[in-house]
Amino acid sequence: MKRCTRLLVFLVAALFGLVSAPLQAAAQPLVIGSTNFPEQLILAHVYADVLQARDVAVRLRLNLGAREVVFPALLAGEIDVLPEYTGSMLDYLTRGEQAVDSAITPEAVYAAAAKALPEELVMLEPAEAQDKDAFVVRRETAQRHDLETLSDLKGVAPELILGGPPELRTRRIGLPGFEEVYGVQFKNMRSLDAGGPLTTAALQDGSIDVGLFFTTQGIIAANDWLVLRDDRDLIAAENLVPVIRKAALTPEIRQALNTISAQLTTAALQQMNRAVIIDQRDPKEVAHEWAKQQGLLQASDAASTN
């Protein structure tokens, strides 16, 4: 009798083990990653809010660093989903070898990026919103050197200092691209950040002459700075797009993230960035407010959690 009882207990335990393993796996939170500038924090919180409203458990890993750090983390499964930018991701995936004139429009860049994407990853629907790299100068610098376009830098760049993230030394949208596309070489480059407080302060105090910012940043208009027009198409389209590991993707997650993309505009990015960078509001609060205004939270009104 005891032997039968032990056998029954063993069989029940084994049965529950078989059943519970997939349930435990399914309960693992979706890990949302971000790089290290305000817009990425906003987008990560938008993703988290909308997914949580659909009963998807999430965990945030924010400020992980540049793409050179975050994308390998995505491939390694340390994070599951990342807000990405089609043009910069394409440049990263092809190591700058993608021909400029073959992938400039949003459609062409998206198609090329999808082709270059590692098979472990899926790129979902892109947003209309774009946040393109922008090379910015002070108004007095533009007037002194008669600058309107990136081509105009060619004669004066040897007198000027470029400021931006360290990756500008190696990325095509940086020193290599300036030399290849525009024939421009700067006097020096200072490693700072990507349109953040270090680059902002350096451009304000004149310790750099040209700074890398993003077209959705309110700080440009607030300082009456000038964005130099990319007249030879160095900078490709940069539509926002969720990139996710295939192993983590479910129909519910796909639908939620595609719904965000369908409603995300460049104007919305500009407004949210201004609220965080200029008005000094919390990215989590700004993201939640936008998602709620767009009706993306549905029945749940839970804010994102860390």
Q: How far is CA 36 from the centre of its chain?
A: 9
- Regarding whether 124 and 36 lie in a shared domain, the answer is yes
User: Of 182, 201, 227, which marks where a domain is finished?
Assistant: 227
User: Of 227, 262, 285, which marks where a domain is finished?
Assistant: 227
306 is a domain residue:
no
The reported pLDDT for the residue numbered 102 is 55
- Regarding whether 121 and 26 lie in a shared domain, the answer is yes
The CB-side HSE value for 187 (13 A sphere, CA atoms) comes to 11
287 is a domain residue:
yes
Q: Has this prediction a pTM greater than 0.85?
A: no
The residue ranges of DSSP E strands in 94-184, in sequence order, are: 121-123, 133-137, 161-164
- Regarding whether 178 and 45 lie in a shared domain, the answer is no
Residue 228's identity, in one-letter code, is: L
- Regarding whether 162 and 126 lie in a shared domain, the answer is no
What are the φ and ψ backbone dihedral angles of 177, each rounded to 5 degrees?
-70, -40
The CB-side HSE value for 303 (13 A sphere, CA atoms) comes to 11
- With vertex at residue 240, the alpha carbon angle to CA 197 and CA 83, rounded to the nearest 5 degrees, is 70
305 is a domain residue:
no
Q: What is the DSSP string of 148-164?
A: SBSGGGTTTGGG-EEEE
The reported pLDDT for the residue numbered 18 is 42
Separation of alpha carbons 95 and 142, rounded Å? 32
β-strand pairing of 161-164 with 210-214 = parallel
232 is a domain residue:
no
- Which residues have a Cβ under 8 Å from the Cβ of 230 and sit 6 or more positions away? 135, 149, 150
- Regarding whether 144 and 52 lie in a shared domain, the answer is no
282 is a domain residue:
yes
From residue 133, alpha-carbon distances to 91, 165, 277 in Å are: 13, 12, 17
Question: How many angstroms separate the first and last alpha carbons of the chain?
Answer: 52
For residue 259, what is the domain's CATH number? Answer: 3.40.190.10
- Regarding whether 244 and 194 lie in a shared domain, the answer is no
Structure tokens at 61: 């890993």
Q: Are 33 and 82 in contact (CB under 8 A)?
A: yes
Q: Is the dihedral of CA 92, 95, 100, 102 positive or negative?
A: negative
- Regarding whether 141 and 124 lie in a shared domain, the answer is no
For residue 152, what is the domain's CATH number? Answer: 3.40.190.120
- Regarding whether 138 and 127 lie in a shared domain, the answer is no
The reported pLDDT for the residue numbered 1 is 47
Q: Are 150 and 179 in contact (CB under 8 A)?
A: no
Beta bridge partners of 229: 149
* pLDDT tens track for 75-114: 999 999 999 999 989 989 988 665 444 568 899 999 999 9
Q: Which residues constitute the domain of residue 252?
A: 10-16+22-131+237-293
The reported pLDDT for the residue numbered 236 is 86
pLDDT under 70: residue ranges of the chain: 1-27, 96-103, 299-306
Q: Is 167 buried (19+), middle (13-18) or exposed (0-12) by CB count in 10 A? A: middle
Q: Are 98 and 199 in contact (CB under 8 A)?
A: no
- Regarding whether 112 and 147 lie in a shared domain, the answer is no
Closest CA to 85 of 196, 243, 241: 241
- Regarding whether 118 and 137 lie in a shared domain, the answer is no
- Which residues have a Cβ under 8 Å from the Cβ of 194 and sit 6 or more positions away? 36, 37, 66, 164, 165, 212, 214
**Tally of structural domains, the chain:** 2
- Regarding whether 154 and 212 lie in a shared domain, the answer is yes
- Regarding whether 113 and 189 lie in a shared domain, the answer is no
Q: Are 245 and 119 in contact (CB under 8 A)?
A: no
The reported pLDDT for the residue numbered 97 is 65
DSSP state of 18: H
The reported pLDDT for the residue numbered 173 is 87
